[in-house]
Amino acid sequence: MLLFCLLAVSIDAHPLDDPVMSLKIEITQEAVLYRVSVPTFIFEPLKGITYKSGLDETELKWDEVESYFKQRNPVHVDGIRVLPALKDLKFIQVDNFEPGTAPSEHKGQILQYVRAEILLSHGAKSRPEEVRMKWETFLPPELQETIVTLSAFGSRQLILFNKSENEQVWQSRMRGPSVMDISRVKFEPTRVNLWLAWAYGLSILVVGYSFRRHPLPVTIISAALIVGLFFCLPTRGQVSTNVLLPEPANAAALFGAHLRNIYRAFDYTNEEDIYDTLAQSVDGPMLDEIYNQVYQSLLQRDEGGAVSMVQRVEILESNLEQNEPAGKASSAQLSIQCRWRVHGAVEHWGHSHKRLNEYHATYVLKPRDGRWKITHVEVKEQKRIELPKPASAAMTGS
């Protein structure tokens, strides 16, 4: 649940600390978290928040802050663009001068201001293999670089974003093939008929030798043979119409990224954001069907119609059904049998319950706009997995 508070206390800032935007990044199994700290007077969505502002003046700023970050600083998790969701927003009043000194001793310095503490979450739904981050917000504008602490699975490192090199890539030590790479539709190399090419070349030599004393016939026949040879060889950029199908392991990784992205879409509350996220994995004609199918699966009718929030997607098995290495572009497809579990929680009457559902379905992926996307799904089984009750609940019988 989003929390909103104004800390009406002063903090001991570093004496005359520069009021600039700062960023910390944490990568977890469930999300890529951005912790942004920024003075409100240099941050456009919050410029109206001053040192003496109250809660009533800040209540309408949530959507503006979230929208600001959705439009910049893109994050790609395993090759898929993930929009940020605003999870927390706090305001801290800063007294930016040394204790015991008078404000008059700090002419030209900003002494008192409000700093916004912003928490943004980019849903992952499982441990990421690759996170590609671009940072484009340098505030104030004259700031040239931002040094960021990145924490991920027990390790920490410093990374640098600046205006000329504003992209960084984190990769898991257990990283497999890049989903961004294997999601691209690839074609077989164009084959050249070498025997025919050799035959044309030899014919040119024979004709040239046989009619060496008759330049005109030699010229005409040689030109015709050269044109024929030209059509035997591939032109630059020419590709085969046969699509290379991913290896089974790569197909499983590709499908897993798409499946997690489908559930990630429902982290957002804005319907346009949901559809934009789904469209990265699902073909256009299937968008409404997938939307309704997943939404209904998350709807908890026994909890008054509350919608379960997905914490993690666990793929139990994923099998590629066909073994052909390639297929025609018009008919190439991947058919995948998958069984997976969705770990989630639903809030009801002020408290939350964990939910675990299991599904079995067949998905079909086809080339669309140069990438593999889901074009068909057939759900074969879905069931709720009963979780053991907590010890306290079991003792009370609730």
Comparing 200-204, 236-240, 367-371, the range with the smallest average pLDDT is 236-240
Q: Which is more confidently placed, 230 or 171?
A: 171
> What six digits make up the tokens of 295?
């939404």
Q: Can you tell me the distance from the alpha carbon of 23 to that of 10, in angstroms, rounded to the nearest whole number?
A: 21
Render pLDDT for 366-393 as a digit per residue (tens, 0 to 9): 999 889 999 999 999 999 999 886 554 4
Listed in order, strand segments (DSSP E) in the chain are 3-12, 22-27, 31-39, 75-77, 80-82, 85-95, 112-123, 130-134, 145-152, 155-162, 167-171, 186-187, 242-244, 299-300, 306-307, 309-320, 326-328, 334-348, 351-368, 371-384
Q: Can you tell me the distance from the alpha carbon of 320 to that of 182, in angstroms, rounded to the nearest whole number?
A: 15
Q: What is the mean pLDDT of residues 274-286?
A: 94
Q: How confident is the model at residue 99 (pLDDT cuts 50, 70, 90)?
A: low
Q: Which is more confidently placed, 173 or 251?
A: 251
Q: What is the mean pLDDT of residues 19-25?
A: 92
Q: What is the mean pLDDT of residues 169-193?
A: 73
* Domain residue spans of the chain: 3-176, 194-232, 251-396
pLDDT at 238: 45
Task: Return the bridge partners of 285, or none.
Answer: none
pTM, two decimal places: 0.74
Highest CATH level, class, for 251-396: alpha beta
Comparing 58-62, 267-271, 306-310, 333-337, the range with the smallest average pLDDT is 58-62
Q: What is the mean pLDDT of residues 20-48?
A: 93
* pLDDT tops 60 at residue 9: no
pLDDT at 24: 96
Q: Can you tell me the distance from the alpha carbon of 222 to that of 216, in angstroms, rounded to the nearest whole number?
A: 10
Comparing 3-7, 144-148, 168-172, 181-185, the range with the smallest average pLDDT is 3-7
Q: How confident is the model at residue 335 (pLDDT cuts 50, 70, 90)?
A: very high
Q: What is the mean pLDDT of residues 175-182?
A: 67
pLDDT at 272: 92
Q: Give per-residue burial for 280-309: e unless 16+ CB within 10 Å, then b.
A: bbbbeebbeebbeebeebbebeeeeebebb
* Site of tokens 């954001």: 273
